[in-house]
Structure 1
Amino acid sequence: MATSNKDIQEATVSHHDQAQAHPETELFREVVLGHDFTVDSAELPKGYFRGLPFLGSMFAIGVSYGAGVGGFAFAAPILANIDADIGPSPNLTWVALTYTLTTAIGLMVVGRLTDLFGRRWFMIGGNVFGLLGTIVCATAKTIDAMIAGETLIGLGASAQLSFAFTINELVPFKYRFLANGYIYIWGTVCSGIGPVIAYAFVYKTSVGWRGVFYLLIAMNAVGLACWYFFYHPPNFNMKHGPGRKMQFVREFDYIGTLMAILGFLLFLMGLSWGGGLYPWKSAHVVATIVVGFLLLVTFILYETFMPLKEPLIPVHLFRNRGLVISIALWSIGASVYYAFAIVWPTMVVVLYAPAHANDPMWTGYAALALNGGISFGELVGSWPRKWIHHQIRAVFFIGSVLLAATASCTADTPGRAITLMFLGSMFIGWNEILTSCVATICVEDQRELGTAIGFGGSSRSFVSTICATVYTVILTNRIATTVPQYVPPALIAAGLPSSSVADYFTAFANGTAAAFATVPGISPTILAAGERAYQDANAAAYKTVFLCTIAFSGIGIILSIFCPNIDHLLTDKVTTTLHESGHEGPITKEAVTGSEAA
Structure 2
Amino acid sequence: MAISHDEKRAGAEVEVNENSRSEARHVPIHEIPLDLDDPHKAALEDNPAHAETISLTTFLAIASLAFSYVCPISCGFVLVTSILVPIGTDLGDTTHISWIVGGWSIASSVSFSLAGAISDVFGRRWTIVAGEVIAIIGSIIACTSQSTLMLAAASTVIGFGCGIIFVSYAGIQELVPNKWRGLLGLTECAMTLPWALAGTLIATCLNANTAAKWRWCYYIGIIYGVLSMIGTILFYHPPPRPQYDFEKSRLQQLKEIDYIGFLLYTGGLTIFLIGLTWAGTPGHAWKSASVIAPIVVGLLTLVACFIYDFTIPKQPFFPYSLFCQIREFTVLLVVVFVAGMVFYSFAGLLPQGSLYMYTNDPIQIGVIALPNGFAQVLCGGIATLFMGKVGHLKLQVIVCLIFQTVFTAAYAGFIPMNRAAWSAFQFFSMGPFALITLLCYVIAGLNVPLRHLGIASGLIGTFRSGGGSVGNAVFNTILNGVVKGQIPKRLSEVAGTYNMSGEQLAALIPATVLNAVGVPEAFAEVPGITPAIEQAAAHAYREAYAYAFKQVFYSSIPFGVIAIICACFIKDSSQYLTNHTAVHMVREGAMGKNPGRVKEHATTTTTGLQDSNSETDKSSN
Q: TM-score, normalised by structure 1?
A: 0.84
Shift of 1:513: 5.6
> How far has the Cα of 1:524 moved from its partner?
0.7
CA separation of 1:135 and 1:305: change in aligned 2, threshold 3 A:
closer
CA 1:441–1:45 in structure 2 vs 1: closer, same or farther (change >3 Å)?
closer
Aligned partner (choices 521, 524, 535) of residue 542 of structure 2: 535
**Residue 563 of structure 1 corresponds to which residue in structure 2?**
570
Find the residue that maps to 1:129 and give its secondary structure. Answer: helix
Whether the aligned pair in 1 keeps the contact of 2:52 and 2:579 (CA below 8 Å) is: no
Counterpart selection for 2:347 from 332, 337, 341: 341
Cα 1:314/1:279, change in 2 over 3 Å: same
Q: After the TM superposition, which residues 171-250 of structure 1 pair with which residues of structure 2 at under 5 Å, given as runs?
A: 171-177=176-182, 179-189=183-193, 190-236=195-241, 239-241=244-246, 244-250=249-255
Mapped pair 1:25 → 2:27: no
CA distance 1:45–1:245, shift in 2 (3 Å): farther
Kindly provide the CA deviation profile for residues 469-503 of structure 1, in whole angstroms up to 9, marking residues without a partner as x: 33223323332444355443344335646774344
Which residue among 313, 326, 334 is the counterpart of 2:332? 326
Aligned to 2:33: 36
Structure 2 counterpart of 1:478, from 459, 482, 499: 482
Give the equivalent residue in structure 2 for 1:294. 300
Distance 2:280 2:32 in 1: 50
Find the counterpart in structure 1 of residue 170 from structure 2: 165
Farther-moved stretch of structure 1 (66-75 vs 251-260): 251-260
1:184, distance to aligned residue in structure 2 (A): 0.7
Measured in 1, the distance between the counterparts of 2:279 and 2:135 equals 29
CA displacement at 1:194 relative to structure 2? 2.5
Q: Deviation at 1:523?
A: 0.9
Secondary structure at 1:26 match in 2:
coil
The residue type paired with residue 302 of structure 1 is Y
- 1:526 equivalenced with 2:533 (yes/no): yes
Q: CA deviation at 1:338?
A: 4.6
Any stretches of 5+ residues in structure 1 without a counterpart? 1-5, 12-21, 592-598
Partner residue of 1:378? 380
Task: Write the letter of the residue equivalent to 2:549.
Answer: Y
Q: Secondary structure in 2 aligned to 1:107? A: helix
Indicate whether 1:59 and 2:63 are aligned.
yes
CA distance in 1 between counterparts of 2:94 and 2:490 reads 33
The alignment yields a C-alpha RMSD, in angstroms, of 3.6
C-alpha distance in 2, partners of 1:236/1:165?
Answer: 14
Distance (whole Å) between structure 2 residues aligned to residue 474 and residue 243 of structure 1: 50
- The count of corresponding residues between Structure 1 and Structure 2 is 567
Separation in structure 1 between the aligned mates of residue 409 and residue 26 of structure 2, nearest angstrom: 47
1:93-131 deviation line (CA, Å, top 9, x unaligned): 554443222111001110122123311111111111222
- Report if the CA contact (8 A) 1:496-1:522 is conserved: no
Q: Cα–Cα, structure 1 residues 290 and 44, in superposed 2: closer, same or farther, change >3 Å? A: farther
Tell me which of 128, 133, 151 is aligned to 2:133.
Answer: 128
Higher percent of residues as helix = 1
Change (3 A) 1:157 1:32: farther
Q: Deviations over 1:269-291 (max 9, x none)?
A: 44344445972556655444333
Distance in 2, Cα, partners of 1:94 & 1:412? 30
Structure 2 residue 268 is the aligned partner of structure 1 residue 263: yes
Alignment of 1:588 onto 2:582: no
Amino acid at match of 1:160: I
| CA distance, structure 1, for counterparts of residue 131 and residue 571 of structure 2 | 33
Identity %: 25
| Structure 2 residue aligned with 1:595 | none
**What residue is the counterpart of 1:572 in the other structure?**
579
* Conservation of the 8 A alpha-carbon contact between 1:268 and 1:462: no
After TM superposition, list the pairs within 5 Å mapping 1:392-411 onto structure 2. 392-411=397-416
Q: Distance in 1 between matches of 2:135 and 2:355?
A: 31
Residue in 2 that maps onto 1:594: none
- In structure 2, what is the equivalent of residue 448 of structure 1? 452
- Superposition pairs for residues 489-528 of structure 1, below 5 Å? 489-494=493-498, 496=500, 500-509=504-513, 516-528=523-535
Which runs of 5 or more structure 2 residues have no equivalent in the other structure? 9-15, 36-41, 602-621
Give, as a single letter, the amino acid of the residue that structure 1 aligns with 2:586: H
| Cα pair distance change 1:272/1:29, threshold 3 Å | farther
Go from structure 1 to structure 2 and tell me whether the alpha carbon gap of 1:552 and 1:110 turns closer, same or farther (over 3 Å shift).
same
Take 2:573 and 2:392, find their aligned partners in 1: how far apart are those partners?
8
Tell me the secondary structure at the aligned position of residue 239 of structure 1: coil
Q: What is the DSSP-based 3-state SS (H/G/I as helix, E as strand, rest coil) of the residue aligned with 1:240? A: coil
**Alpha-carbon distance, 1:42 to partner:** 7.6
In structure 2, the residue matched to 1:366 is: 368
